[in-house]
Structure 1
C-alpha cells in the first residue's frame, strides 16, 4: 500500500519507465485494487506516459489519473491483437471509466446446428458448440423471412431428435406431420440421403454468407440436367426454387453487384453516447446490419468510438472484410484489412446508407426517451408512429387506399381516414374507377389518388400528414407520381405496405422496413389496411349485386335501361319489382311492358 501522494507518483513513474515500446493493453487500478480503466496502444510506453506528462483538458480524465494507484500491462504481437484483447477485457471487467457498449443480447441470430441433418432456426443464445451462427440481425422480420425462404426451397427438419445413424437404424423414430404435408423428407426413418441434405445445408450457408450467385448457378445446372433426362416435374420444382432465390436476391441488392466483399461503418455521436452502424455487403447485397450504442465515460471522440466498434464487430464475427469503409480517417492499422474513406461512387452510397441507418437508430432512441407515461395514449402512439416511420410531423390525419376488382370487373377503390390513430368514418370515401379498363391496379391507384387530392387541394381542405398505400412498390410509385404532379409530394408522406410479409416501403428506397409484429405502429397500419379492404370489398359487392340485378332485368325482351330506372325509382329494390302485382307494374310502365316483366318473374302463369 502506498501511503502518500508523492510515494504514489514515484511508484507510477517507475512503472511507466518500465513499460515496453510495444503493442499491448494497459490496465489502471485504484487503491482498492479494482480495475478502473483499460486501454490499448501501438506503443505502450508512449501512450501511458501521455496520461502523466500532458496537461489533461478533460475533467473526467484528470479525475481518472488522480485515482490511478497501479498499472499493469499485457504485450501482444500487433495493434489489431491489442484492439481485440482490449475489447474482451472491457466486456469482462466493465471498468468505471471505459466507454460502455450497451448490452445487445436480445438481437437474434440464425444458427445452423452442429448435428446430423442440421436444423436451421432463429436463436438469441450464442452457444459455442461448433454450430455456425449468422448475425446478429436487427430485424426479426428479416430472420423469419430468410428461414421461411429456406423451408420453401429445402426440406429441412424441425424436430430435436438425435438423428445419429445408430438411432435411425434402430428405428427409434417415426415420421411426423411435417413429412405427411411435404415439408420434410423424414431423415428420422432413413428416407433422406444425408449427403443430399448436407448439400442443401451448404447452399443455405452460402446464401447466408451472401454468395447467392454460386447457389443459383448450381441450381440452374441441376434444372438443365433434369430437363435433359426428361424429368420435367423435378425441373419445374428446381425452377420455382430459383425464382424464389432471385426474388430474394433482387430485394437484397442495393448497390453495384461488383462490390463483392465490403464492411461499412458509420457513426453519429453527442455529449452522452456514440452510435455506430455496421453493414456487411457481399455481391452488392447487404447480408448483415447492426447498430451499436456506446455510452461515453471520458468524452471519447468519434474516432475512438469507431475503433471500439470495429473491434467489437471483429471480435463477434471473427473476421473483417478485406476492405472496410469508414466516414473518417482512423489512426489504426489492421492486418489483411484496408481502411478506406470513400468520397464518390457506389462505395460512398453505401456509406451514406449506413449513415441513414444510424441516424434513424438515434432518432428512435431519442423518441423513447421523450415519451412520458402520463402522456395521453393517442399522443404517445402518434409520437411512436412518427419515430418508427421517420415522419417529419405527427401523423394526426392518415388516409389509406385500396383497390378492389375481380378479374377487372366492377373496379372500385376505397379511401379510409384515421384521425388521432382512430377511424373517422364520416370521411370514408368510395371511388368508381372511370378511366381504367381491365385489371390495372397501378393505373387505378393513379386515378383515385389524383381525384382525391385534386379535390382537396381545389377546395382548400386539410391534407393528411401520411398516406398508406395497400400494395407494394408498384402501387406506391403510382401514388407518388400523382402527388408530384399535383405539387403535394413535399406536404404528404407516403408509404406502401406489402401484404405477405408486412413490409413497409418508402419512395425511392429499395430496402423495406420491418416493424416488430407487436409494435403499436404496425397495428395501426394493419387496422388502416383492413378497414380499407373491408370498406372497398363491401362497396364492390354492392356494385356487383346491382349490376347483376340490372343485367337480369335487361334479359327481359322489350325492357330497356330507361324502364329499369323507372322501376327502381318506384319499387326501390329488386325484390319489390320481382313480387309486384300485375296491376302495380302496368300502372307504372304500361300494360305491354308490365305484362312482360310480370310474365318473366311468374313463368307458367297465363295472362
Structure 2
C-alpha cells in the first residue's frame, strides 16, 4: 500500500465507464468492479470517512489497480461478470450452487421412459424443468405415472420382460413391455403427459372432457368413469403443484438483512405459474449496500448462466430505474431480446415482490434460528468435554464392512450451521487385514487429517465411533501428525449396547465420561455418531449393489453392450453360456471364431 500513490492514480483516472481490478502485493486479484464513472467509483474507496470495516479491510490490501475502459456500462457489466467467473476474487460475492437442479426426462423410444434426472446433461428425448427441489420433481413424476401410466423402468429392464411387473398391478404403468397397450395408445398418453409438463393443462382438461363425453355417448361407461377419475386427479395435481396467477413470465427478487444475516430470495414465474423458489445467503466481503449487493448478485446469476429457466421477460426488483439500466441492457445483449424492469408497484408484480420479500425474511429468520441452535449445542458440547472453547466444527468417523470385507470409512461434519453435508467424505479402505477396524480407522483418519493440515482447515473436535481402544489408536495418529492439541473423543455404547448409556473416551484417559442421558451436548454427539453410521452403511450398500449388478458377462473383454445382448438372447442365461461348446459361441451374431475362443477361455477361467 505504501508504494501505491493513490492521489496520482486518481488524478489520471478517466470518467468513462469501465471495469477496475484491485490487486494485492503478490498480484492476487482481490476485487473486480464495474462503474459508470471510473474516477468517481474508485475514488469512493479512498474517502477519509464513511467506509465500513469490510471495505477498509479490502483497501488496506490494495497494492495496485488496473482499469479497462468500455463503450458503455452494460459492456462493463458483461466484462465484470466474465472476470469474476474466471478469477473468482475473494472480495466479490461468489454465486455457488453445489447441486444441479432436478428435471423430468422423457426418453426417445417407441415406448418412452418418464424418469427423474439431475442436471441438464445432453440426453436423448426431452427434459422438463427445472423443478425447485427434488421433492417437487418426484411428486410430479408420481402424479404423472398415476395419470398416464407411463413406464418408469430403464431400457435394460424393459427389453427383457416376459410378464408385467408390480407397477402394472398397482396401476402405475400400462405394461407396454408385454404389449398390454398398443404403441398408438401409449403415444397418446405420452402426448398428454407432454401437454401437462408444458403447462398446457387447460387444453389437456378440455381434451379429456371431450373424450369422456364421447365415451359416455357411446355407452362405454367404464372408459368414461376412468376418464372422469383421471380428470379429477389432474385437477388435484394442478392445485398441489402450482401457484397460478394467470399470465406472466417474470422473476421477482428481494433482499432482507436480519440480525446481520443476508438472504436473497428469487421467485420464478413462467406462464403465470410459480416454477422455482429459492433462498440464497451471499457473503458481502466488500461491504456493499444491500441494494448494490442485490444488483451484483442478480447480474452474476443471469450472466453466468445459473438461471436454468432462462432470462425472463420481466425483472421485478425494488431498485431505481437508473440503477438497473446497465443490467437490463446487458441482459438484452445476453438474451437477444428486451428485458423489462418493474419495482412491483401494482398488479401481479406487487403480489410477487411481496411474496419474495416474505420468503427472504423467513429464510433469514430460519437461518438465524438454526445457527443459534447449533451454537448453543456446540457450547453444551464444550461444557461436557471441558474444552477451552466451543468447537466450530465436529468431524465424526465410523467404519462399515460386510464380515470384514469391502471396508469403508465415513466422515460426517457438524458445524455452526448444523450438518455440513458438502463436507461429508467416504474412504475406501485398501491394504488392511479383513476385519481390522483399528487399522481401517487409522488409515481413514490419517488420510483425512493430512489433507486438512495442509489446507490449515482442522476441525475443532474429532469424534470416533468406538471406545478406549479406537481412541487410543487415533491418539497415536495425532501424535505422528503433530496434532496433539486437537481434541479427540470416542463414543461407545458400553456393555448394555443401549442408546443413552454410552461412554465418552478422551484420548489418553483411563476412565470414561458417563454423561447425563438428557444433556444437550451429549445428545448432539449421539446424533452426529448416528449420522456417521447411517452415512457409512449407505455408502457400503451402494458399493455392494453396484458389484452385484455386474455379472461375469459385463466383465468379458471384447464384449460390448451390443454383443452382450446378442449373447444373452442366444443363450438366455450365463449358466447356459458356460455349458455351451466353443462352436455354439461362434453362431452368435457378431462373435467371430477368435472372439468365441477368448470368451470360452474367460468363462472357464483357463
Structure 1 or 2, whichever has the larger Rg, is 1
TM-score (norm. length: structure 2): 0.50
